[in-house]
Amino acid sequence: MPTAITRILLVEDNPGDARLVKEALSEIANLRFELAHCERLSKAVEICSTAAPDAILLDLGLPDSQGLDTVRRMHSAAPGTPIAVLTVRNEEELAIQSLHAGAQDYLPKTQISGPLIWRAIRYAMERQRIQLELLNLSLIDELTGLNNRRGFLALGEHYVKLANRSGTLFMVAFVDVDDMKKINDTFGHQEGNRAIVDAANVLKDSCRRSDILGRIGGDEFAILITDADTTCGNVVLNRIKQKLDSRNASLGCHYPLSLSVGLVAANVTQYADLGRLLDEADAAMYVEKQRKRAAPALSVTD
């Protein structure tokens, strides 16, 4: 049994059932828990908005919500909190459907006992942990540790919606590693991967924690510069140049790493669309890359 205190929220309008749950939990040896109890879904949502519990025991028949809609609304209010549903007789099918609506486990009220309640809570917490790990894996680029394309778009589109409502200025940058094919052809794909990681680290060190950064293609990156002003674009570009210069001056570098960057600012007087801004930044990046083609070719050494 864990020694940490487990914070449990019981959402149950039947006083007898609520008392039964409390008594059952209190009978478990070595279980340290804090139990908060409310009778309405609206109150549960309010509680989770200020301090989410470690687990939720949720009745499906509440005065202000019924059935699967109760699970959906609770899951929406506390998406990171595991939910174990309490069901009554003949609700097996509804209980199973609740697992697809956001719950992680269910327990018939006819089977309420300390060990079974704790088992349902532990299973719900473990399943939630696994689901969150899988979700994080699906949003993170394995090579660089940055957001992948899916993760960048998910976070970026959420921010853009907020910025559109508030009229907040932001910028979008599209970044491409120069001469990637030449690096791969000369040194092999393992060194090519190292160049991509170096580029990711340069960009990471050039951005603020509040900015959204992702690898959206093989050697392509995107940055959403949040809460920007008219100087932010040049600040980020200068930081990238400084970090590149520092990397290229390091011992052991067989070639200079170079990045082409296209940068566009959202028009606060119009509704911003992240996909359109990425396309515009990509086009600006291509212009920059074309400009560089007049410069000397990439120098490599053995």
Looking at the structure, tell me whether residues 122 and 156 fall in a common domain: no
Q: Is the pLDDT of residue 1 over 50?
A: no
Query: pLDDT tens across 114-131, in order?
Result: 888 988 898 889 888 887
Res. 89 pLDDT band, cuts 50 70 90: low
- Region 42-64 average pLDDT: 92
Looking at the structure, tell me whether residues 35 and 129 fall in a common domain: yes
Separation CA 233–CA 271 (nearest Å): 20
Query: pLDDT tens across 174-218, in order?
Result: 999 999 999 999 999 899 999 999 999 999 999 988 899 999 999
Q: According to the model, what pLDDT value does residue 289 have? A: 92
Separation CA 222–CA 243 (nearest Å): 17
Q: Is the pLDDT of residue 2 over 80?
A: no
Q: According to the model, what pLDDT value does residue 302 have? A: 45
Indicate the residue type of 164. N
Report the relative pairing of strands 61-62 and 65-66 from DSSP bridges: antiparallel
More confident residue, 4 or 75: 75
Range of 220's domain? 149-292
Separation CA 9–CA 179 (nearest Å): 56
At which of 139, 159, 176 does a domain end? 139
Q: According to the model, what pLDDT value does residue 31 have? A: 81
Looking at the structure, tell me whether residues 198 and 269 fall in a common domain: yes
Q: Is the pLDDT of residue 90 over 80?
A: no
Looking at the structure, tell me whether residues 165 and 114 fall in a common domain: no
Tally of domains in the chain: 2
Predicted structure pTM score:
0.59
User: 206 lies in a domain?
Assistant: yes
CA distances from 207 to 21, 146, 271 (A): 50, 12, 25
CATH number at residue 108: 3.40.50.2300
Separation CA 270–CA 70 (nearest Å): 38
Separation CA 222–CA 234 (nearest Å): 16
User: 242 lies in a domain?
Assistant: yes
CB 139 within 8 A of CB 148: yes
Q: According to the model, what pLDDT value does residue 276 have? A: 95
Looking at the structure, tell me whether residues 101 and 155 fall in a common domain: no
User: 211 lies in a domain?
Assistant: yes
